[in-house]
């Protein structure tokens, strides 16, 4: 959901930027879920980032 939201926000020709904070916010807003560890969120984002072939049009801080 956070990746899709970032893609909608991105200007035409610009990469979508999805952060660990975006994932945390979306998880809380939609599911009331609070993550304990940043690394847990980053791992989930990395998994979806790679599965959705985001390297072509997205940037993230999940690999830092």
55 pLDDT tier (thresholds 50, 70, 90): confident
**Is 47 buried (19+), middle (13-18) or exposed (0-12) by CB count in 10 A?**
exposed
| pLDDT (0 to 100) of residue 58 | 94
21 pLDDT tier (thresholds 50, 70, 90): very high
| pLDDT (0 to 100) of residue 14 | 95
Going by C-alpha positions, the residue among 58, 28, 56 that lies closest to residue 41 is 28
| pLDDT (0 to 100) of residue 12 | 93
> What is the pTM (predicted TM-score) of this model?
0.86
- Asked whether the predicted pLDDT for residue 35 surpasses 80, the reply is no
């Amino acid at each position: 959901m956070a990746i899709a939201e970032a893609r909608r926000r991105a200007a035409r020709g610009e990469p979508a930027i999805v952060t660990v904070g975006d994932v945390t916010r979306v998880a809380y807003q939609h599911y009331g879920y609070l993550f304990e560890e940043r690394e847990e969120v980053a791992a989930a984002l990395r998994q979806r980032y790679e599965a959705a072939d985001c390297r072509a049009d997205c940037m993230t801080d999940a690999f830092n």
